[in-house]
Chain A
């Protein structure tokens, strides 16, 4: 698409005025970039404490006893499990995922396609009604079409003065066994705080019967 008339040359040297225009244009582009960053910060939703997406405090008296099965926290959309020796010696546990003890906050949404799975006491495991994924109490998948273990929330153990005594380790559980792992509540824990805005994805688990 070239016009018939001669075009002005593109190779003449830049004048000062032209350069100043480019600088002005660049400053306006920078301002737009700064403003867009501010806009994103402005628009990100904030969560109140107690609201899903924010932090949920749980008194230590509300935590289930060791190995007594998961406890439902519907407003936080998580199960709280207290894993003890019984769950560690569970024979269904796949070898790839070393079992650990302690308290864990597991997200109630199935990692397959988003349904809320149930705890089935007779079978002593989580089972999802939508497509049949099955997980042990510690979130490790043992059967079904899900492709990874259940997700967990970052949890902090706080003492009476609000000091942090322990915190779930963030990271990728596929590479680091201690990421997203449960921890035993340290002595002096008065309250735990589950941060439903920070989720740790479960380790990859695709082998039949569970495994990487």
Chain B
């Protein structure tokens, strides 16, 4: 009987020691766990971003010109974008609200991105739960260090931009290069193929460009096919094809982003689509 009492005391003492050991290590364990779950949130956010966001924001969050702004960008994290938009809260709140509630149609601030961003949170009719929205927020916030570090290496706008003056003289165009530019195979630059299908009758976002070389000449009186194409690319609102949105949702800044050679190449390529 005494043996039981002795062993019983020893067991209670050991239990106390284990409990004390656990209590001492608790703060470190909790911090570890919190960091761990932040990591898992970023992982889940990466997967969700891949399935839902890359179509408009690019595979590495670099943005697609005229479709959606870059998220992997210094101006998002250094406060410039927030100031432009007039957001008074935190960056995380801004990202969360954009994902959850979406973005309305083009405003003065978003002239370069005329398309709507859909609402993603179930709260506003979208498909995602609040924790999924939070995962994506964590993933995007994780670009902060690399985006700010890469800020110095950002390329400047092309010096030789074609502008919106329709009378500017264009050099000889290379249709082969034009095709590469059209399909976005030149370092992600203006992939026209995202919005313009080459299959007759298929509308992706804008009108199909099948046989555009023939159609272009008939669109506006007095304009040759090449002149019409030049005008539709740098000033997309001057002519809207029937049945498509007016004002046009085609980005209006291609003139500032393309060089004369690039515009000439694209027009040359489009002229091969009879």
Contact = CB atoms under 8 A, between A and B. Distances in A.
Interface of A: 16-17, 20-21, 23-24, 27-28, 30-31, 34-35, 38, 41
Contact of A17 (B2, B16, B20, B23): B2
Interface size bucket, B side?
10 to 19
Nearest to A30: B16
B13 interface: yes
Contacts of A20: 2, 5-6, 9
A30 B17 CA distance: 11
B224 interface: no
Interface of B: 1-2, 5-6, 8-9, 12-13, 15-16, 19-20, 23
B1 A34 contact: no
List 8 tightest A-B contacts by C-beta distance, closest first: A27-B12, A20-B5, A24-B9, A27-B9, A17-B2, A24-B5, A31-B16, A31-B12
A23 B13 CA distance: 11
B23 A38 contact: yes
B196 to A, nearest CB: 46
Nearest to B5: A20
A5 B9 CA distance: 35
Contact of A24 (B12, B16, B20, B23): B12
12 contacts: A16-B2, A17-B1, A24-B5, A24-B8, A24-B12, A27-B16, A30-B12, A31-B16, A34-B16, A34-B20, A38-B23, A41-B23
A41 B30 CA distance: 14
A38 B20 CA distance: 9
Contact of A35 (B6, B13, B19): B19
Contact of B9 (A16, A17, A23, A35): A23
A21 B6 CA distance: 8
A30 B20 CA distance: 12
